[in-house]
Amino acid sequence: MATTDAPDAPGTPAAAPAAGAAAGAAERLPLRERKKLRTRQALIDTALELFTERGFDRATLDELCDAVEVSKRTFFRNFASKEDVAMAPTQDLWAAFLSDLETRDPGDETVLEALQASVFAALDGMTDEGWTRRVRLSRRLAAETPSMDAHGLHFCDRTARSAAGLLRHRLRIEDPRDDLRLRLALDFLIAACHYAVDTWVSLPGDPGRSALAAELGSAFAAIPEALALRAGPAASAR
Amino acid sequence: MATTDAPDAPGTPAAAPAAGAAAGAAERLPLRERKKLRTRQALIDTALELFTERGFDRATLDELCDAVEVSKRTFFRNFASKEDVAMAPTQDLWAAFLSDLETRDPGDETVLEALQASVFAALDGMTDEGWTRRVRLSRRLAAETPSMDAHGLHFCDRTARSAAGLLRHRLRIEDPRDDLRLRLALDFLIAACHYAVDTWVSLPGDPGRSALAAELGSAFAAIPEALALRAGPAASAR
DNA sequence: GAGATGGTGCCACTCAGTGGCATTAACGCA
DNA sequence: TGCGTTAATGCCACTGAGTGGCACCATCTC
């Protein structure tokens, strides 16, 4: 699964080796693979730059391919769509989330708590140099580009489905009502992540992963509070 | 706002007069408007039929326009995209939801409860003859067509944002933490609706609105339960 | 070295979506 | 009833995303 990557799945190539300089492991790959990863990373970086500068829809794939000196055909061997290339940084995080979830022991926590722990673990794994910068660019683009937003939402939904399928087996969930609860929990998690990232993206300066972790913490804490929110005169009363 | 519809907003024409034969009110419109509504409805019906029969991506807009005897240019004056036409039935429901939300008095309920009441009210308003059939076709298509699913998710997200903006003013929410809770509550609601509709769509036979209301009831009830879901040996324990 | 493998470039093609302009049908008013 | 206004439509040409096919060339294997 590491040497032979799926020939027809550009969405996320094999076990998405995060961004460019995961120096340790990546350098050991055969030359062919390294080259491929290099063009992939060049496409991501150049795309983020180009789209940010000129706007997602004003920039064409031909320009991007010209800049990276790659044919359009090659672009589509690496990414499923124009939106996909700009989404890559976020997708790395969710891939890590899923792989953490596979091995996590739920102990006697709530499922929701276990999910939150997996998100933090995934975030801890995003050690790549420019990752935060890339995610911030990517999310900013998504915020102003409907089609990117739509594709991002869809990706999150697919991820949630994968996670639900995974947990359904690991936790031996058979009662369909528990399955519904599980899927809702997943959706709650993703909603909270969404707002945490949104807030983090609009923070001034260049906040790092720890700032994102803090935002995630507040958002997770707000989940039970959201159920109790009232419309009374003192809105913040619980 | 009823006579002069926005010239450049094909997404949802004015106050989306639901589907075809809302006989009472629609017949009173000037001829021009009626014709426009008729072609709009013909496009929706034919699109659902065509897409269901041949698959969303195997069917082209040219075929659809040929069948309805309308130019492609006219199609895009009525709908924003190929996905949009197939989403129209669902959008009617959410438009009704928003308009109910505008006038609802939150009393001393929880915000989440008020939102659920608005969903039921909106559903009650979907009195149009073939509405359930159209929604079922539409959702089935979305389930098997990534781009439709993505657009649907995006539409729900935009609706949730509108609703949040609306309630933020009506409930005088100023504390950003309450705003976060509000937005989470909206997302919880939408997640629950999503699963309710999914279940309802895969019900055998031709279940009506009351069956959908029942599914919504169970899904809403599962929201607090989802927070407490545990991974213990007896998974259904709370 | 030679032969298999797989990534790449190039080319032609389909189809979604847009802009512009002439045409036609409905409306309002005399 | 006739006429000017308004707005929806049809037609046409065009951009740009995404695909299929095939030849080419670099890398890996022996």
Q: Tell me if residue B19 falls in helix, strand or coil.
A: coil
User: Over 90: is that where the pLDDT of A70 sits?
Assistant: yes
Q: Chain B closest CA to A84's CA: distance in Å?
A: 13
* pLDDT of the residue at B21: 37
**What average pLDDT does this structure show over A69-88?**
96
Å: B2 CA to C30 C1': 28
Closest Cβ–Cβ partner in A110, A194, A231 for B114: A231
Compute the CA torsion angle B147, B150, B156, B159 (nearest 10 deg).
-80
Six-digit token pair at A1? Answer: 């699964």
Query: What are the pLDDT tens digits along chain B (238 aa)?
Result: 333 333 344 544 433 344 433 434 445 677 678 889 999 999 999 999 999 999 999 999 999 999 999 999 999 999 999 999 999 999 999 999 999 999 988 788 999 999 999 999 999 999 988 999 999 999 999 999 999 999 999 999 999 999 999 999 999 999 999 999 999 999 999 999 999 999 999 999 999 999 999 999 999 999 999 999 997 654 444 4
Residue pair A227/B112 in contact by the 8 Å Cβ criterion: yes
Q: In the predicted model, what is the mean pLDDT of residues A167-177? A: 93
How high is the pLDDT of residue A99?
A: 95
**How confident is the model at residue A101, as a pLDDT?**
94
Q: Round and report the angstrom distance from CA (A36) to C1' (D25).
A: 15
Under 8 Å between Cβ of A55 and A77: no
Q: Which residue is nearest to nucleotide C9 (CA to C1')?
A: A71
pLDDT value at A143 more than 90: yes
The b/e string for B207-235 (b: 16+ C-beta within 10 A; e otherwise) is eeeeebeebbeebbebbbbbbebbbeeeb
Which neighbouring-strand residues pair with A110? B230
Q: How many residues does chain A have?
A: 238
Contacts of B181 in chain A (CB under 8 A): 222, 225-226, 229
- Helix, strand, coil percentages, rounded to 5, for chain B: 70, 0, 30
Nearest nucleotide by C1' position to the B58 CA atom: C15
Chain-chain contact of B191 with A192 (C-beta, under 8 angstroms): no
Return positions of chain C under 7 A from a protein CB. Answer: 6-11, 14-20, 26-28
Q: Which long-range contacts (CB under 8 A, 24 or more apart) does B5-12 make?
A: B10/B76, B10/B77, B10/B78, B10/B79, B10/B80, B10/B84, B11/B80, B11/B84, B12/B91, B12/B95
**Is pLDDT at A236 greater than 70 in this prediction?**
no
| pTM for this model (two decimals) | 0.89
Q: Is the CB of B3 under 7 A from strand D?
A: no
Does the CB of A81 sit below 7 A from strand D?
Answer: yes
CB closer than 7 A to strand C: which residues?
A 4-5, 7, 32, 35-36, 39, 69-74, 77-78; B 30-33, 35, 59-62, 72-73, 76, 80-83
pLDDT tens digits for range A184-206: 999 999 999 999 999 999 999 99
A30: its two tokens: 């055969």
CB A74, CB A36: distance < 8 Å: no
Q: Do A224 and B225 touch (CB under 8 A)?
A: no
Tell the residue number behind the tokens 């913040």, with chain if given.
Answer: A236
